[in-house]
Structures are given as structure tokens and as C-alpha cells.
């Protein structure tokens, strides 16, 4: 990002965050490996904000100090409302020319968003990031629809919000009535200031509920699988649910489809559900000669039960013979059907070991798979 003019930053982290269902206020709960508040503070420091003031709850000095250990920040004790917390923090940055005010519950701040906001201060006293509303809107009254609102005239408001410091400080000092403004743009407008609207970003989303933490920590998961089967005369050769003509087939308790077995292990691994042997033990006679497509369908159902869907599958077959190229498209189609994904989400490829090892000697076929699953 190009060099920005000097600006200060305030991170509002003085709330209780009770709806998030965390053992501590959500701004100090862990999200993607670190406390929520630390994400945005680190970003602001990286792009040059100075000073960075963090408003925290009364008595939270210790937990805040641990969450932001090693970072050059100043703490102020917040008030009973967000507006009061910001007003107190503003007094600590009153000497700056520009200030960004951000909610700690929004851990991601794209650099481009900061650039847009700061540039907008060239023409206005304040600037806020906004997004359009795509759903229809209803006015609720006693559990009934009492009217509708024009979504084209409305926007979703995010933070950080940018201000000329003198203007927003004056607006807070002049504010009368209950200090319950939802954001600082409202305070500035009430004092007669103009607020520019700049393009927001979906990654500025706010962490609010318990499931936000679950989804954030495990939105995407990855599993790997590896399997080997011996080639033997008198056996059918099944690969990726497709029968392949060959003078040898794969030996095993089921149909020994080494490709599908690797995929099953990858899917099970992605959701922490063990391995294929736990679900379909080779000592169980009911799986004698069973089609491996049943194993894939079971693995896919476990993925769904865990709250995920299959993202993509990448499978490598390792053998000298048969040649896989002529069968690749039908294999991909069959695997996509079993996994319930688009054809483009499945890749089947083959390689040799340059005649080295058991696959090089034509004694067996190996398969390696990687699968991703995405939270529904």
C-alpha cells in the first residue's frame, strides 16, 4: 500500500460481548490463533497508525495487556456506552490530524479500505465504509410486517470510520442527550459534519455470535489419504468407481478400488472421523466384494453430519499400467457424482515411479488423495 498521511487509530474494545458465548469478552477471545482485538491492532500498526489507543472495560487491564503484549498501544478505560468509550479515547489522540475509529469485533481490516477512508478525508470531515443491501426489507411491528423499506436508499455500515480529528472531537464534546449513538458517523452528522460513503468490504464482517467463532476457526479443513493394493490375476480392476480392462486386477476384501479408498481416508481425515478401516474393517464379511462407492457415500454423509460439504478432491494414481489417460474423464465424472460436487471440483491424475519400487515392478497400484471440506 502506498504511503498514507499520518493518522491515529482508536480500537473500541470496551464491550462485554455476551452474545458470542465466549468465556471472556469476545474481543479478548481467541480467533484464528490470537485474541480478536490483536488482529486489527496489528494491522493498524503495520500501516502506520500512531498512536493506537484501545478502549477497554474497567478492570480488564491484565487480560488486555496479555492480548496485546508487545504492541505499542495505549489503554483507556471505556465508559458505559460505546459513545462514551470513544469520547474518552479521542482525548488521547486530540493532537492528531486524522483518526480511524474501529470496533475490535471486526478483526479483518483490508489495507485498501484504510486507503479509501483516509483519501476521502480530503473532501469531507468523515468517511465510512458501506455495503449495499441485497435482501428485501420489512418493517416489523408486534411480530407482523407493518411495511417495507427501500433497500436502494439504505446501506450497511462498517468500521473503521475515518475522521478529521478536530471535527470528531468537537462533535463528541458538543453531543447532548443520552450518549447512545451506534457509531461515530452519527455523532458527526448530528454536529453538522458531512460523512462520505466509501466502498466497504465483506471481510470487515463483525464477530457477534458463538457460531461466528466456530466458522472462523474451521471454515475450511483439509484431509489426506493414501492406499495401496496388490495386483493379482483373476481379479477385476476398479479405479475411481470405473471398471478398467486389464490383465490383472486389484486384490482386497472389497472391490479394492485403491483410488476411492484414498479419497475416503482424505474425507474422513478432513472431519476427524478416523480412517476407512475403522468404518469398514476387512475382517467384517459384509464388506466382502463391496463396491467402494458405498464407502465414499458414507464418508460424504459423515462430512455433512459434521456441518461441512465437500470442497474439492485431488487424486493421484501411481502405477506403470494400465494407462489412466483414456479413463480420466469418466473417472472424474464418477468421483464428482459420488462426492456430490461439480466436475470442476475433482481432479484425477496419474504418475509412475520410473519403474522403481513395487508400483514400478507392476506388483500393485498406489493412490494419494487430498480433499477439502467447507463449512455449510
Cell of 232: 493379482
Q: In terms of domains, do 244 and 301 share one?
A: yes
Q: In terms of domains, do 117 and 50 share one?
A: yes
* 148: pLDDT strictly greater than 90: yes
What kind and span of H or E run contains 167?
A: helix 165-174
Q: In terms of domains, do 188 and 225 share one?
A: no
Average confidence (pLDDT) over 242-261: 93
pLDDT of residue 3: 82
pLDDT of residue 78: 95
Average confidence (pLDDT) over 216-220: 65
The domain that holds 308 is classified in CATH as 3.30.1330.50
Q: In terms of domains, do 244 and 315 share one?
A: yes
Strands 346-351 and 308-318: parallel
Q: In terms of domains, do 250 and 161 share one?
A: no
pLDDT of residue 215: 54
Q: In terms of domains, do 89 and 170 share one?
A: yes
Average confidence (pLDDT) over 114-122: 97
Does residue 174 lie within any of the structural domains?
Answer: yes
Mean pLDDT computed over every residue of the chain:
92
Residues near 206 by beta carbon (within 8 Å), at least 6 away in sequence:
103, 105, 106, 158
* 18: pLDDT strictly greater than 70: no
C-beta neighbour count of 155 within 10 angstroms: 15
Yes or no: say if 258 and 308 are a contact pair by the CB < 8 Å rule. no
What kind and span of H or E run contains 328?
A: helix 328-339
Q: Tell me the pTM.
A: 0.65
pLDDT of residue 141: 94
Does residue 310 lie within any of the structural domains?
Answer: yes
Average confidence (pLDDT) over 43-50: 96
Gap between the Cα atoms of 206 and 203, Å rounded: 9
Q: In terms of domains, do 108 and 19 share one?
A: yes
Model confidence band, residue 15 (pLDDT cutoffs 50, 70, 90): confident
Q: What is the pLDDT of residues 336-359, one digit of tens each?
A: 999 999 999 999 999 999 999 999
Yes or no: say if 207 and 106 are a contact pair by the CB < 8 Å rule. yes
Total number of domains in the chain: 2
Q: In terms of domains, do 69 and 187 share one?
A: yes
Tell which of 167, 186, 210 closes a domain.
210
Average confidence (pLDDT) over 312-332: 95
* 156: pLDDT strictly greater than 50: yes
Q: How far is CA 36 from the centre of its chain?
A: 14
Average confidence (pLDDT) over 58-67: 94
pLDDT of residue 2: 57
Q: In terms of domains, do 145 and 198 share one?
A: yes
**Structural domain span for residue 350:** 218-375
pLDDT of residue 22: 55
Does residue 2 lie within any of the structural domains?
Answer: no
Tell which of 174, 193, 210 closes a domain.
210
Model confidence band, residue 21 (pLDDT cutoffs 50, 70, 90): very low
Strands 30-31 and 126-132: unpaired
Q: In terms of domains, do 225 and 183 share one?
A: no
pLDDT of residue 186: 97
Is the pLDDT higher at 282 or at 361?
361
| Closest C-alpha among 245, 325, 241 to residue 290 | 241
Does residue 1 lie within any of the structural domains?
Answer: no
What kind and span of H or E run contains 24?
A: none
The domain that holds 147 is classified in CATH as 3.90.550.10
Cell of 187: 455523532
Cell of 359: 508400483
Q: In terms of domains, do 275 and 337 share one?
A: yes
Average confidence (pLDDT) over 222-238: 95
* 144: pLDDT strictly greater than 70: yes
Tell which of 190, 210, 230 closes a domain.
210
* 19: pLDDT strictly greater than 60: no
Q: In terms of domains, do 93 and 144 share one?
A: yes
Does residue 3 lie within any of the structural domains?
Answer: no
Amino acid at each position: 500500500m502506498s504511503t498514507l498521511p499520518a493518522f491515529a487509530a482508536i480500537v473500541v474494545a470496551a464491550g462485554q460481548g455476551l452474545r458470542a458465548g465466549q468465556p471472556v469478552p469476545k474481543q479478548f477471545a481467541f480467533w484464528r490463533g490470537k485474541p480478536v482485538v490483536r488482529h486489527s491492532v496489528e494491522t493498524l500498526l503495520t500501516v502506520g497508525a500512531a498512536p493506537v489507543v484501545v478502549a477497554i472495560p474497567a478492570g480488564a487491564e491484565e487480560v488486555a495487556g496479555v492480548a496485546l503484549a508487545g504492541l505499542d498501544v495505549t489503554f483507556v478505560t471505556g465508559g458505559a456506552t460505546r459513545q462514551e468509550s470513544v469520547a474518552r479515547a479521542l482525548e488521547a489522540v486530540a493532537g492528531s490530524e486524522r483518526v480511524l475509529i474501529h470496533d475490535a469485533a471486526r478483526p479483518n481490516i483490508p489495507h485498501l479500505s484504510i486507503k479509501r477512508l483516509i483519501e476521502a478525508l480530503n473532501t469531507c470531515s468523515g468517511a465510512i465504509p458501506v455495503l449495499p443491501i441485497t435482501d428485501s426489507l420489512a418493517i416489523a411491528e408486534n411480530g407482523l410486517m407493518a411495511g417495507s423499506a427501500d433497500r436502494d436508499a439504505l446501506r450497511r455500515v462498517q468500521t473503521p470510520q475515518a475522521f478529521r480529528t478536530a471535527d470528531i472531537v468537537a462533535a463528541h464534546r458538543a453531543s447532548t442527550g443520552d450518549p447512545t449513538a451506534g457509531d461515530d458517523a452519527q455523532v458527526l452528522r448530528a454536529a453538522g459534519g458531512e460523512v462520505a460513503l466509501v466502498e466497504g468490504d465483506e471481510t470487515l464482517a463483525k464477530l457477534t455470535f458463538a457460531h461466528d467463532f466456530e466458522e472462523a476457526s474451521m471454515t475450511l479443513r483439509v484431509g489426506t489419504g493414501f492406499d495401496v493394493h496388490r495386483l493379482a490375476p483373476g481379479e477385476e480392476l476398479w479405479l475411481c468407481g470405473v471398471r478398467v480392462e486389464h490383465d490383472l486386477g486389484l486384490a482386497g476384501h472389497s472391490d479394492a478400488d485403491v483410488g476411492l479408498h484414498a479419497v475416503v481416508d482424505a474425507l474422513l481425515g478432513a472431519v476427524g472421523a478416523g480412517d476407512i478401516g475403522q468404518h469398514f474393517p476387512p475382517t467384517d464379511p459384509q464388506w466382502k466384494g463391496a463396491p467402494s462407492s458405498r464407502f465414499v457415500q458414507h464418508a460424504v454423509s459423515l462430512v455433512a453430519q459434521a456441518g461441512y460439504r465437500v470442497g474439492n478432491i485431488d487424486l493421484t494414481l501411481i502405477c506403470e499400467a494400465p494407462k489412466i489417460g483414456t479413463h480420466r474423464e469418466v473417472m472424474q465424472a464418477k468421483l464428482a457424482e459420488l462426492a456430490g460436487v461439480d466436475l470442476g471440483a475433482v481432479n484425477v491424475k496419474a504418475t509412475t515411479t520410473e519403474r522403481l519400487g513395487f508400483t514400478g515392478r507392476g506388483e500393485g497400484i498406489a493412490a494419494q488423495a487430498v480433499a477439502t471440506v467447507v463449512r455449510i
